[in-house]
Amino acid sequence: MSEKIFAVAGKPVLHSQSPFLFQAFFRALNIDASYTRISASSAEEALQAANAIKLTGMSVTSPLKVSMVNQLDRIDSHADHINAVNTIVLKNNRWRGYNTDYKGVIQALKFNEINLNGCKVIILGAGGAAWAAAYGMKMLKARKITIVNRTIDKAKSLASRLDCDFAPLKTLSRHIEEADVLISCIPVPLNELDVSIIRKNLIFMEANYKNSHSGQEIKKGEDGFRKVSGLDWLFFQAVPAFRFFTGLRIPNEIQKDIHTIFRTRKVPQKPHIALIGFMGVGKTAVGRILAKEMGYEFVDTDLTIEQQSGLIIPEIFELRGEKSFRKQEALVVQKTFQGSQPKVVSLGGGAVMDERTCAVVRENCDIIWLWASVRTLINRINLGTRPLLKSSDPVKKAENLLAVRRPFYARLGDLVINTEQETAKDVVRRIKDEMD
C-alpha cells in the first residue's frame, strides 16, 4: 500500500474535483499515492492536519490561498508576486509554496484558442484566485485589467500590487460594456447572480466550476458569449501542481485523455454516508447524531455484529479470533447497502483493510475520514473494549496499527475532518456544511 498521501484543503472542499484529477494522474503514471480532501477553516488548521496525517503535498483552495502564504517556510517568486499559494510541498520537513493558478488560467485560454493580446479584461473578486488571474493576464499582455470587487479596499490592494485598475461591484455592468473578457473569481457561480449582465461577444470564464458538470453550464454561443469552463482552469493548474508534487511531467497524450474524460464525466451522486477512521475518533457518536439530523438510518457495524452474535467484541475476538470477526464485518458491510433507505454507516476501524468492503463502500457512500492523534484516541477509548490494543504499551500498539492503516483510510476517504478538539456535534455541523 502506498505511503505518499496528498490532499486539497479548504472550506468547503467536498465539492472539489481535484481528487479525480490527481488520482487519474497517479494511476496513469503508475504512482503509488493517494489524494483526498481536508476540511479546514484556517491555513493553520490545514497545516496541522497535513502534518498529523503526514502529507507529502497539498493543494490549497478557497479561502486559504492568501492566508497560507504566511504559514510556509518558503514560497517561490511567482507565488510571492501573486501573494497566494495553491500548491504546497513538504521538502526536508519544510513546507514550500507555489502558485500554479496563473499557469492554469493562461493555459485554459490558450486551449480554447483565445488570444488576449491587447484585450480589456475584468476580474471579478479579489481573493487568491483573482490575484493569480490578474498575474496571468499581465503575462498574456492584456491591454487593461480592472479588478472589480464588493470590498473596494481589497480590489485596491490587488490592483496597486499588480499595477491594474480597480472598481466597485456596482459598476460591473458598465465595465462589461467595454470589456473583451470577464474572469469571475468569486465563490458562487455567476449565473446564480445575474447572467443578464453578460453581453454579446464577451469571453466569460469562471474559477467556480460547480455547475460545469451538471449540465447547467451556459453553452457557447447560446447567449452570444463564449464560456471557458472552470474545469479547464482546474485541469491546467493541476498539471504543473502534479510536477511540484512528484517531479514528473505528464506526457501530452495522457494529459489529453484525462482532460477529455474530466470535461465530460458526470460526478456520481452517492446515496449513503460512511464514517471511517481509527478506534476512538468518534464514528459512532458522530454517526448517531448525523443520521438523526439528516433523517437517515444509522448503522454501526460493530453493534450489528454484536447483536447478530449475541457476544461483545472482546468476546468475539477471544472465542472466535480476529479472522472470523473480519469475515462477519465484511458480510455486514455488504448487506448494509441493500434496500433504499439512505444510511449513515459507522465502520469498525479495521474494516477498510478488506478490498470488497472498500469497493462497496466507495460505490455507495460519500466517505468521511475522522481523524485524531493517537494520544487523544487513547484517552477517549475504554481499552477493555478494544482487543487489538491489549498491550503493556497501548500507545505504541495504536501508533503501529495506525501507521499500517493510514494509507487505506487516505485511499478511501473523500474528506478528512480533524476531530481532535471538536465535540461530536461540531463534527456533525462540519460534515453538514460540507454536504450543503
Active site residues: 65
Interstrand relation of 144-149 and 297-300 (parallel, antiparallel or unpaired) = unpaired
In the complex, least distance from residue 380 CB atom to ligand S3P, rounded to whole angstroms: 10
In the complex, least distance from residue 307 CB atom to ligand S3P, rounded to whole angstroms: 14
Burial (CB count <10 Å: 0-12, 13-18, 19+), residue 309: middle
Interstrand relation of 57-60 and 203-206 (parallel, antiparallel or unpaired) = unpaired
**With respect to ligand S3P, which residue has the nearer C-beta, 386 or 411?**
386
In the complex, least distance from residue 243 CB atom to ligand S3P, rounded to whole angstroms: 37
Q: For the stretch 161-196, what's the b/e string if a residue is b when 16 or more beta carbons lie within 10 angstroms of its beta carbon? A: ebebebbeeeebeebbeebbbbbbbbeebbbeeeee
CA distance 244 to 185: 24
Sign of the four-CA dihedral 185, 186, 189, 190: negative
In the complex, least distance from residue 378 CB atom to ligand S3P, rounded to whole angstroms: 12
In the complex, least distance from residue 435 CB atom to ligand S3P, rounded to whole angstroms: 22
CA distance 367 to 227: 33
Which residues does 157 contact at the CB level (< 8 Å), separation at least 6? 126
CA distance 163 to 176: 20
Grid cell, residue 335, equals 448487506
Residues that bind ligand S3P (CB under 6 A): 279, 283, 302, 313, 348-350, 386-388
